[in-house]
Amino acid sequence: MAGFGAGERQWIDRLGNLRNTVRQEMIRRQLADHVNSSMSVLDVGCGQGNQLLELAALGCTATGIEPSAELRDLCSRAGHHRQLSIELLDGSIENLDAVIADRRFDLVCAHGLLMYLVDRSAAIATLAQRVRPGGLMSVTFRNGHALAMRPGLRGDWAGALAALDTDRYTNELGVEARADLLDDVVNELASCGLGLVEWYGVELLDAEDQAGRRDPYRWLGSQVHVIARRP
């Protein structure tokens, strides 16, 4: 997989479009059920800072890690405009040790990251090491159970059939990525000592907030949002 960098320009050009706005708002609402102002937060691959800035606005001590200079600049300028205090660092999941040493946090976020990484298990283990006892991890990933939904809804029957037999897809940025299954991610979190607290569907078609919290509708979200806790 080429990774997110191959689609960065397209991502920046699409900032503010309806789909991304809805997705970010759903994640914000879902996180708000689990966050308080005393928490320290690490957002790995924070991008332009949608969730990082919202968490800072709640009063959290917010640290973001992002390898893209342009996205860091967008995040920094947005934070300055909102008069928010954030720590923004140049780095990625591959060099966390060099960037933040042995720091641990009350909440570790990795939103829209796993689908671009070859070794999901290693990434989850790396992120889990940064969660304090009693802390949370929040991850979003492409829903492998619903990979055929989007082409099917568009009437692309050949694409829908093909999606039933693969975990790979080309996203709206034109980048090849991977979809994951909820049970696989939850089991890997458990192997790192984090138990499932809640999961949500993200980017559903209608009644976004409520549908994303209920069966069977949350299974239809194009992305899944998992929140897990370390005892």
Within a domain: residue 150? no
Mean pLDDT, the chain cut into blocks of 10 residues (231 residues total):
67 73 88 96 97 97 97 97 98 97 98 95 98 98 85 74 79 86 98 97 58 66 93 94
Within a domain: residue 12? yes
How, if at all, do strands 223-229 and 131-142 pair? antiparallel
C-alpha span between 63 and 175 (Å, rounded): 27
Residues in Cβ contact with 87 at an 8 Å cutoff, skipping those fewer than 6 apart: 62, 63, 64
Which residue segment(s) compose the domain that 64 sits in?
4-144+173-229
Q: How far is CA 24 from CA 28, 159, 191, 225, in A?
A: 6, 26, 28, 11
Query: What does residue 121 show for φ and ψ, rounded to 5 degrees?
Result: -60, -45
Within a domain: residue 163? no
pLDDT at 206: 44
Q: How many domains does the chain have?
A: 1
Strand residues in the chain grouped as ranges (E): 40-44, 61-65, 86-89, 105-111, 131-142, 168-170, 176-178, 195-202, 223-229
pLDDT at 1: 43
How, if at all, do strands 86-89 and 61-65 pair? parallel
C-alpha span between 113 and 93 (Å, rounded): 9
Within a domain: residue 78? yes
pLDDT at 186: 98
pLDDT at 7: 65
C-alpha span between 74 and 138 (Å, rounded): 23
Whether 173 contacts 11, CB under 8 Å: yes
pLDDT at 205: 45
For residue 63, the SS3 value is strand
Within a domain: residue 192? yes
**CATH number of the structural domain spanning residue 15:** 3.40.50.150
Within a domain: residue 212? yes
Segment (H or E) for 222 = none
For 168-203, the DSSP string reads EEE-TTS-EEE-B-HHHHHHHHHHTT-EEEEEEEES
Whether 180 contacts 169, CB under 8 Å: no
Within a domain: residue 140? yes
pLDDT at 13: 74
For residue 22, the SS3 value is helix
C-alpha span between 113 and 119 (Å, rounded): 11
Within a domain: residue 133? yes
Upper half-sphere CA count for residue 47 (Cβ side, 13 Å) = 18
pLDDT at 149: 75
